[in-house]
């Protein structure tokens, strides 16, 4: 998980992003082929199933590392 200051219990984590709040995305029409982080659509960036709490910070490491 990206933020150690906000521990999300495993049973409350979003299943789509696993509590991170962001998901990697690579645009199909993007010629550069770079991946970017986008806000998780399931939890709206909170990392929780119930969507309560503040939005989590974008991960510092690039996707696929």
Q: Is 2 helix (H, G, I), strand (E, B) or coil?
A: coil
Q: Which of 25, 21, 23, 24 is nearest to 3 (CA)?
A: 21
For 1-60, the pLDDT digits (tens) are: 444 546 888 899 999 998 889 988 876 655 566 778 899 999 998 999 987 778 888 877
Q: For the whole model, what pTM was predicted?
A: 0.63
Tracing tokens 């960036």 back to the chain, one arrives at 45
Structure tokens at 48: 């929780």
Annotated domain spans of the chain = 1-54
Q: Under a CB-based contact definition with an 8 Å cutoff, are residues 23 and 58 in contact?
A: no
């Amino acid at each position: 998980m990206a933020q150690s200051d906000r521990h999300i219990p495993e049973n409350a984590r979003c299943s789509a992003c696993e509590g991170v709040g962001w998901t990697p995305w690579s645009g199909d029409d993007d010629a550069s082929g770079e991946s970017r982080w986008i806000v998780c659509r399931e939890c709206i960036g909170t990392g929780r199933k119930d969507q309560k709490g503040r939005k989590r910070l974008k991960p510092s490491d690039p996707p696929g590392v």
